[in-house]
Structure formats: C-alpha cells, structure tokens
Chains A and B, each alone.
Chain A
Amino acid sequence: MVKKKSQKESFEPQILVFCCNWCSYAGADLAGVSRFQYPPNIRIVRVMCSGRVEPIFILNAFKNGIDGVLITGCHIGDCHYISGNEYAQVRMEHLKKLLKSLGIEEDRFRLHWISASEGKQFAELITDFTDSVKRLGESKIPKKLGLIELESC
C-alpha cells in the first residue's frame, strides 16, 4: 500500500497547454520574468487565439497518452480578435461532454483565462492543474511516440 502511494507521488505527468499569443502566452512570460516557479510538466503550444483550438487537438493529445490538457486564453471581453475565446468556450463545453463519455476524467482537461498581467495566476494555475492531474495518476491510454513527418500535400 505504502509503496504504491509513493509511486504515485513520483509520477510526472505530461501536460499540454495551449496559450493564445496575446494574453495567456504573455501571462506565462510574465511568470518567467517575475521568476514565479511552477512544476516543469507542461509543454506550451502557442496559437494566435484560443478560438483556433480545435477539439480534435485535445482528443489527439489524449490518444497519444498525454495526461492532461489545459487551454488558456484572454479573459472574456479581452480577446485580441474580439470573440475568439467565446467560441473556444462553447466548443470546449461540448468537448467536455464528449470526454466524459469516452471515460476521460474531467480533471484532465481545463479551460482557463489568463491575462498578460497575471503571471502569478499563471504559475498558480499550472501548479494546481499539475497537482490535480498527478492525483489522477497516469492516463489509461498508453503513451505513443511521435514521428517527424512531412505533410504530404
């Protein structure tokens, strides 16, 4: 029993984070500039707007065995492209239901708004999210290694 627990603790999840170029990516930068420390489990993919994120990307990530996915963007009303984050919100609500029906735990996926001045909040968010994914343990889907391929078209 005891052993199992410590195994769980040493588990380092792999987490994918989408950041929009204008707010949350800047918030992540500010966390750095201010040296707010957070767990090194996340890998950020930069997109121009949270409205770019397609649900299929998240499914793809889980299919590859990634343990958690976090989508971040500007606060509602602050989107650089006016309403991109509103579309993201709608899509991700739908996606949540789908993930549930696929048996993927709710806590593995989150949508959160971070402004360019919220460096601290970004660090806190990552710490909190990493913790909650850690608590869930490894994703049930075995990890797959990727290939470097060229687009065929």
Chain B
Amino acid sequence: MSKKMHSSVLVVGGGISGIQASLDLTELGFKVYLVERKTTIGGTMAQLDKTFPTLDCSLCILAPKMVEVYRNPNIELLTYSYVKNIKGSHGDYTVKVIKKPRYVDSSRCKGCGDCSTICPVRGLPSEFNAHLSTHAAAHISFPSSVPPIYHIDDSKCLYLNYGICGLCAKNCSADAIDFTQKPENIELNVGAIIIATGYEQEYPEFYEKLEGSNPNVLSSMQFERLLSANGPTGGELMRLDDKKHPHSIAFLQCVGSRDFHHPECKKYCSSICCMSSAKQAIITKEHSPDTECFIFNTEIRAKGKNFYEFIVKSKEEYGVNYVNGRVSMVKENPDNGKLILYYEDINRGVVETKEVDMAVLASALFPNKAYYQFLDCLDVGHNELGYVNDEGIAACEEGYIYFTGYSRKPKDIPTAVAEGSACAARISEKLYPVRFQNIKEIEYPPEKPIMVDEDPRVGVLVCQCGINIAGTVDTADVVDYIASLPYVAHAEENMYSCSSDSQEQIKEMIKEHNLNRFIVASCTPRTHEPLFQNTLREAGLNPFLFELVNIRDQDSWVHQNEPEKATQKAKDLIRMYLGKVVNLRPLKKIKVPVEQACLVIGGGITGIVSAHNLANQGFDVYIVEKKASLGGNAIDFIDLYDISLHKRDILNYINDLKNNPNVHILTNSTIQDIYGFVGNYKVKVQSGDDNRNIEDFKVGTIIVATGTYQSQTERWKDAFEKHSNRVMTQNELENLEDTEIPGFNDATIILCVDQRADEFNQGDSVKTYCSNICCKVALKNIEKLLAVNPNAHIHVLYRELQFSDLNAETLWRELRRKVSFERYRSIDEILINSNKKHFHIKYNNIGAECEVEFNSDLIILATPAMPSRGTAELSKMLKVPTTKDGFFLEAHVKLRPIDFATDGIFLCGGAHWPKWIDESITQAYGAAGRAAMLMVKGEVETEGITSQVTPEKCIGCGRCAEICPYNAIEMVETIKQMGLYTITEKKAHIIDAVCKGCGACAAECPLGAIDQKHFSKFQIKKQIDLLTGIDLKACQKG
C-alpha cells in the first residue's frame, strides 16, 4: 500500500457546513481548496435574519467565520467556480475546477462599489434577496460578501455584449475592471473530498394553485429577507405591491413536500420549516405585535434541543395561531386584494376559508442542480427521495468522499455544523500520515525589543480609499494636523492602504523613520486589522503595537454631506487612538503544551466512535464507563434501525479499541476528580468491581458522551400494578429478546407520556420538552412486535408525529397500513384500567371526535429521555453548565454545538440532547475532530489580549472568578508567614491558556487589581481624555 496520498482536501460548497469543515481541516493539518459556485461564501445562513431557537442574529455569528476562512493561509478560496470532473481514487484525486471570470481583478478591487454606482444596467434580480430586489450588472452579492470583491454579470453587461459603455472601468480608481478575463482551468490534487452543496427552494411562482405569482405570496426565504435589517426594505415588514403593513400573515407548512401522489412534490419532510415559520412568526410579532400570524400545518415538527418549547412560546407568549390543516388553494380576492386560503380544519373536520394580507410558503427544500451534476461526476445514483442512495454513500466513504449538511439529508444549522466537523475528523483518520505536508507556517523576522524608557515613535498612514474617504475627508489636512502631534514621527496619506504595495510602503516607513508604533486610518479593524498587524510583524515589530482607526465606515461614509465635520471627526479619532497607541505594550501569544491524550466519558456508541476515531489518528485514549462493558443503550438493540451502521460494525470497533495499545478501557469505573485546563487535565478514576483501584492520568482534552436513560412514569400506577410485566418503556422493549416478550394479541404504544407539557400533559415529573426520538423508536418497535406476532393489533396513541428524518415518512406510511395510528388530545384523558384481559384503555380520538375504547395486552410507554444519572456531579467537576432539564449546555446553540465554552472539553450524543443514533455518531466524530485539532500540534496558542492581575492589589474576593464565563480565573491560596502568624491568602490568577480576553473581570474588580492588556484602564482613559481636544503646550515635555 505505497499508494500516493495528498495532504489536501477539496470542499465543495461554502455554506456553514463547508466553512466549518474547511476551518477544522486546516487545524488538523490539511490544506483546503474551498470551491463555491456563487461569488461569495456564506450560503443560506448568510441570508437568514435570525436563527431559532435563540433568535440570534444570523450574520453576526456567521460573518466572523467567513472572514476567518478568507484570512486562513491554508484555505484556497475558489469562489464563482465549479467542479468539472474528478478522477482518481481514495487518497489521490485529480480535480478539474473551472473558475468563471468576474471581470474584476480580485487583487485590485477594494470593494468600494464605485463600479456598481455608475453601472447603467439596472434591474437584475438579486439572488441574495431572493428576487425581492434588483442590482446593477456590476455588483456584489451583499455588503459582507467574502471575498469582498465585485463582479460583473456578463449576461447583461453592455461592454461585454455590445462593446459599448465601459463606464465602470473609467470610474474605478483602483483600475480593477478587467474585461479580458477568461474562464480559468484549475487542476487540483487532493486526498479526500467533502460535498456540502446545500439546498434550494422554489420561488413561489412554482406553486400555481397557491397563487404563487401574487406579489404577496412569498417563499419562506423571501419572507426571511423581508424581515432582515439588511433586506430589500431595510427590515420593514410590508406588502411589496401597496407598501402597506400586513395585518395578517399565513404561513403554509409542507408546501410541495411530504406528498407521495404528485410527482413534482418531495416525498420527505424538509425538517426545518416548522421551526423556521415559528421563528418568522415571532419576529413578525416583534416587529408589529398587532399583526396576526397563522401557521397552517398538518403537525408541528420541532426536532432539536428545546425546540418544542420554542413552539409553545410562540403560541403562549407571542400569540401565534396554529391551525391544524393543510392549505390546498389560495386565490386573490379581487375586491380587496387580500388572499383567500382554502383549507381543511382537521380538528373540526370541516373545509374552511380564511382571508389574509400575506402568505408565506414554507415550501420544500431540496438539493440543488450542482448536487446532481456532482453525483454524475462521482458516478453514484440517487434514491426516489432525490438524495444519494445508501450504496452511493458507502462507495463514496470508501473513497474518502463525504456528504455533509443538507446534501446528506435535511437538517438544521447546528447539525450541519457538527457534521462539517465530523467530516473533517473522518478525513483526518484516513489522511493522518500525510498531515502538515502542505500547511504553510509563515516565518517572521525576529522582533525588535521595545525598551521601557524608549519614547514612542508613531507612524501614521491615512488612507484615501480612492475617493471613498478622500471624497469627504480632507486627508491632506488630517495628515498635517496629525504630524503636529507629540510622538508622531511621521505621517502621510496614500490611495489604498490595504493594497500589497502599501504594505511594502509601511515596512519602508518603519525602517526609514525608526518607528516603534503604527496607526493606519482607513476602514474597519474587523476585517483589516490582521492584514496590517501581519505587515508589522514582517517589519519586525510586535503586531500589538498597532491601531486601525476607522475613518471610512464610521466617518466618511456616514457623513457624506458634511465634509468639514467629517474631517474634524477623523482628526479627533486619530488623536484619541494616538493616546492609546503610545501606551501600547508588545504582547506575546504564549504556547502551552497539550497532552496528546483524550478522556472519553461514557462507553456507549458515541463514546466508542469518538475513541475509535481518535485512536486511529494516533492519540492516546482513556474510555471511562460506569457499566461492566462497552456498548451502552444501543448495543442491546436487535440491530440499529434506519442507519447505515450495523451492530457488527460497533462490535468491530470495540474489538479494535481492545487491541489498540494506546487505548485504555476503564469499565466499572467512575471519575473521582478532574482538574486543570485545556491541554493539562489531571484525572482520577476509581475502577474495578470492588477493589477500589484508583488510577491517575493526564489528558489534554475531554469528550463527554454520557448519553441518556428513559424515565419511569407514575401515571396509571394502579392499573399497571397487576400486570407489571406487561408494561414497559420503549427502551425496555427494545432490550428484550423476542422470546422474552409476554404473549399478546393487542399491543398499545403510548407516545408523549410525561413530556411536551403544555395544557395537555400535567404533573410533577412531567417534562416540558419533546424527546424527539420516541416516534421513530415506535416505528422500530412496531416492526419488532409485528415480527413476534404478525397478526397482532397494534395501536399507537400519539399527539404529533415527530419524525422529520429523511426516510421516516416512507417508513411510517408503510407501517400505517399494518397498525392503527390514533391521535389523542390530552394524556389526562387516556384512562387505563386493569381487567382479566390485562388492560382496558379509553380515550378521546381526534379526527373521529369520539371516545374510543379497547382491550390491550401490552403497553409500551414513550416516557422522556433524561440526561444520564450523574450528569449534575460531572458538570460540577468539569465546571461546565447544564440546561434547566439537566442536559449539558454547549458553547453556542447554533455554531458551536459540540464544544463547551471551556476550551478542551467537548460533548456529543445524548449528553447534549436525545437524538437518533446517526446524529449521535455524527456528533461523536465531530467531537473527536474538535479534540484532535487541539492535540495535533502538541501545543495551543493563548490569546495575546488577556487579563492580568496585580497581586498586591488583589484581596481575594473572587468576584472575577465568579463572573468569568470561561473559568479562566482560579483563586490560588498561598500561605504567608507574618511575624508570629501564619496566614493563608487568596489571590486571583489568570490562566492565560483559557482567557478569551473579554475584559469583564477588569471591569468587575472593585479594587482595580485586574486590567485587560491592550484595552487597559489607562489606555482607554487616554482615549477619552483626548476626545475633547489636546493641550499641546502641556504635552511638550520639560
């Protein structure tokens, strides 16, 4: 097997899943080629206004990741490009990529938009705004596009089509317009491939029966854009034809999906629309509380952590109306321009109509065209649902090709993020022998030391940004003024400070004028600070001796009609930042060593998969399991249901782990103590049957995979007492051998027992959440029961079926023919008595609208999945938080679903939230990958900007440690001899490796004993002092 392996990976698709995979892969030591069909990365998530269930602003959390990709020296970003063909096999692929011409030179474009302003071709539909707005032929997708480069639409450009115009080229002061560009052929060699092509949605016009061409019928993405602050109306909710605020909005669920009769409809549930509509309704209500919102649905599917409560919140707190019924037709009322909806009210069994001002189609989401081209490229087929088939997936994975995000199957953002990390981990497992072969580490000259008594010599570069700044701000005047200020050794202006020749110019200036501090006054530090800091490093200066003053985005652009005042503002700002810069100190990013070993807590399937992945990447692994053997809940299952993994695979994994000398399996073990921080955790484990073995070891990272268990119910206790062997939870049934199941002719599965508490499910031990998995477990159990007794009558009493998994719809329709699914309203209305024939059940059936009663021999209960016992103790030991329901709380619900806020600790599977095994496995791989990222280099770099304690001032009150969200402050006890007395003192100590540099502790300390580097009290005070002006005479030193 001396086969060639490339240390590079191709990622197709720059949405959130592709972004996550790319970033993780570079950390794991692989070069990434990120190919994106559109002109910007960001995918669908960039278009969203907010995300459920936290209503986080979508772009706020995504944009930093996009910029991170842009700046990463090991990601080659190929936007506006597509994959033409792929040749080769695992480890060694040759990929042909075509890069389409933008007609804008990306090395010159400054993103100013002058080309677009002057372009006479207008009215092209904006893809970003889902066709709700238009743009010019020269345009950028949206302001925070990455790369921030304009592009000219060659289908409409006058110059490219008719050889006339060319105004943009004349107007571009950066000379960036290049009409001679041709499509580029690029050939890449990669070892593995990730496909993350995302999803698409039809425009409403597609749905004729729903009056899709009416301007007030929008797709859910269009509505999202309409709500968005950077959308077509600036976030103002209005009808697009008459510009009036809508007083009533209908959300139509399941449009074009979950339908087996119409060939143009999708046969699956798109998985996210119920939550998305609930979110949109809530945002609507926040915009205008008087707007009535109606969500027309067959059933609400809220699959995800505390999602069900989000739906309840939308009803109870915001007054969103849920109508149980599917809308079959929409017509415009010619009299008043409103929309009339025709639907069947399922609860009441009548056909109804409703008039609204606006309708939003939560229509089917499906893989885009590029996806199918790709499948062709790979020579794999798809199933009737339109997704790559199981054989295809198996063949691809064999060849190191992985599908992630919506192109694997319908899913929401956090699942797609975890999956991106998982793909990276799985590739790392395959390509680890060649890691770091293509990774660029930049070499810098040695840093010039800054002496304490050395006076600051500041260089200032004022950027004209073409006319973007200079058109409003008198930059020459600013330079003159700044040059007169103390400590300014040199000041000048130039056209584009960010261009590559300017970087050389800055280095020259530093050398020539012997500068030891630098200020650039141009655009925003959020995107450009790293660029200039890098230039400083190249010039031998510490990168923290720099400030970027924003005189474009926050000055010239927002005061376009007030040039004098804008000029004054620029002077003031630079002066303020000068006050800070002269007081800056060089900062070091320290490297802390990381133990290349991982502790995996929990030996269920998730723990096994994580451990297996890490061990195969060459790391030491300790698995700690309470029980006597590995395997957890799932291994007892007859086989794993509806996932591509088989029981024998898991057994093989266990065998691998047992035979791997780097893996230490500690069964019958509990963790006694864990202390330390990222890279350096000391663990104490108590193991053995009774002999109280204590094992101590050190690890660098920790994965929490503690899983769930199913609770018992107090409900119907008296009835159950008599035949207690005939009542069991779903898990208990799964764990029984067929022969152990008591004989039955009639079995009843009751769903939503003691969970989804709202008005229909009361009691002390009742959970508010939905465990998400019970409905699908029920399908599996039905098959099991039917296998035992094919003639049995099986009832499934349910409220709303929660399987939004790709195959679940088909499985359910299949089984629906063999068993009766019966919908009940309230669990309190289900009466169960014991009798000679075991049980008598009576309840109120929705649909039939009558009382139904029958006898049953076997009762199976879907009680809530609970966080595994011991979770609370473990969370204390690890100092990580849990939710109100006791599940572990991740660092960020959307974008960091498998990280804890504390560095070095990760979570996966049921410890996070009850979930189906395939999702648990995905998270397990993801967590392993995230842990590997920290361990692979054997060291981690601290943030340069951290807090520091002045021990003499600290009185050990511990306020700082209390509020630090990252546990970065420890209170260290020292014993001091003072004369006759021995006193113990407590002092705060910052663990640099863990501090994230928010500075909250510095503001909290009542004695001023903590300060934040780079944002110190003195530095900020100086900025404030210099706001009002400067007393130059007093500044002159003695």
The interface of chain A, by Cβ under 8 A from chain B, is 12, 14, 16, 21-23, 25-26, 28-38, 40, 43-49, 51-54, 56-57, 60-61, 64-66, 74-75, 77-78, 80-84, 87-88, 91, 115-121, 123, 143-151
Q: How far is the CB of B18 from chain A (nearest CB, A)?
A: 21
Partner of B57, one of A23, A44, A88, A91: A23
Residues in chain A near residue B1019, CB distance under 8 A: 151
The 8 closest A-B pairs by CB, nearest first: A32-B553, A146-B1025, A52-B999, A81-B998, A116-B60, A51-B1000, A32-B557, A115-B57
Are A66 and B1027 in contact (CB-based, < 8 A)?
A: yes
The interface of chain B, by Cβ under 8 A from chain A, is 49, 54-61, 63-64, 143-144, 228-230, 234-235, 456, 485-487, 524-526, 550, 552-555, 557-562, 565-566, 568-569, 572-573, 576, 578-579, 582-583, 901, 945, 963, 965-966, 996-1000, 1002-1004, 1012, 1015-1031, 1034-1035
Are A33 and B143 in contact (CB-based, < 8 A)?
A: yes
Bound CA span A45–B572, Å: 12
Q: How far is the CB of A135 from chain B (nearest CB, A)?
A: 19
Are B1027 and A14 in contact (CB-based, < 8 A)?
A: yes
Most B CB atoms within 10 A — which of A33, A47, A120?
Answer: A33
Binding site secondary structure of chain A: loop
Are A121 and B583 in contact (CB-based, < 8 A)?
A: no
CB-CB nearest in chain A for B997:
A48
Bound CA span A21–B1034, Å: 33
Q: A44-B554, A45-B576 are in contact. Are A64 and B1027 (CB under 8 A)?
A: yes
Bound CA span A33–B111, Å: 10
Residues in chain A near residue B1034, CB distance under 8 A: 147
Residues in chain B near residue A115, CB distance under 8 A: 57, 60, 229
Q: A43-B569, A43-B573, A47-B1020 are in contact. Are A147 and B60 (CB under 8 A)?
A: no
Are B1028 and A29 in contact (CB-based, < 8 A)?
A: no
Partner of B63, one of A14, A26, A56, A75: A26
Q: How far is the CB of B145 from chain A (nearest CB, A)?
A: 11
Q: How far is the CB of B568 from chain A (nearest CB, A)?
A: 8
Question: Would you give 18 A-B contacts (Cβ < 8 Å), ordered by A?
Answer: A28-B553, A35-B558, A35-B560, A36-B558, A37-B558, A40-B566, A43-B569, A45-B1023, A54-B1003, A57-B1020, A118-B57, A120-B229, A144-B1025, A146-B1022, A146-B1030, A148-B582, A150-B583, A151-B1018
Most B CB atoms within 10 A — which of A29, A44, A57, A148?
Answer: A148
Are B1002 and A77 in contact (CB-based, < 8 A)?
A: no
Are A43 and B576 in contact (CB-based, < 8 A)?
A: yes
Are B525 and A53 in contact (CB-based, < 8 A)?
A: no
Residues in chain B near residue A82, CB distance under 8 A: 901, 965
Are B1024 and A66 in contact (CB-based, < 8 A)?
A: yes
Q: A28-B554, A29-B553 are in contact. Are A81 and B1029 (CB under 8 A)?
A: no
Q: A30-B143, A82-B965, A146-B1031 are in contact. Are A61 and B60 (CB under 8 A)?
A: no
Q: How far is the CB of B945 from chain A (nearest CB, A)?
A: 7
Q: A38-B558, A45-B1020, A75-B57 are in contact. Are A144 and B1012 (CB under 8 A)?
A: no
Are A66 and B1028 in contact (CB-based, < 8 A)?
A: yes
Are A117 and B1028 in contact (CB-based, < 8 A)?
A: no
Further pairs besides A52-B1012, A66-B1027, A87-B1004: 5, Cβ < 8 Å:
A87-B1000, A88-B1003, A146-B1022, A148-B1035, A151-B1018
Partner of A87, one of B525, B558, B1003: B1003
Are A30 and B230 in contact (CB-based, < 8 A)?
A: yes
A-B pairs with CB below 8 Å: how many? 210
Q: A16-B1024, A120-B234 are in contact. Are A145 and B57 (CB under 8 A)?
A: no
Are A147 and B1002 in contact (CB-based, < 8 A)?
A: no
Residues in chain B near residue A83, CB distance under 8 A: 963, 965, 1000
Bound CA span A30–B229, Å: 10
Are A40 and B565 in contact (CB-based, < 8 A)?
A: yes
Most B CB atoms within 10 A — which of A25, A28, A74, A81?
Answer: A81
Are B143 and A34 in contact (CB-based, < 8 A)?
A: yes
Are A31 and B558 in contact (CB-based, < 8 A)?
A: yes
Partner of A32, one of B57, B554, B1023, B1025: B554
CB-CB nearest in chain A for B963:
A87
Are B1028 and A119 in contact (CB-based, < 8 A)?
A: no
Are B565 and A52 in contact (CB-based, < 8 A)?
A: no
Bound CA span A21–B1012, Å: 15
Q: A35-B558, A75-B57, A120-B229 are in contact. Are A29 and B524 (CB under 8 A)?
A: yes
Residues in chain A near residue B56, CB distance under 8 A: 77-78
Q: How far is the CB of B883 from chain A (nearest CB, A)?
A: 14
Q: How far is the CB of B595 from chain A (nearest CB, A)?
A: 26
Partner of B1024, one of A64, A77, A80, A151: A64
Are A52 and B59 in contact (CB-based, < 8 A)?
A: no
Residues in chain B near residue A150, CB distance under 8 A: 456, 582-583
Are B1024 and A145 in contact (CB-based, < 8 A)?
A: no
CB-CB nearest in chain A for B49:
A117
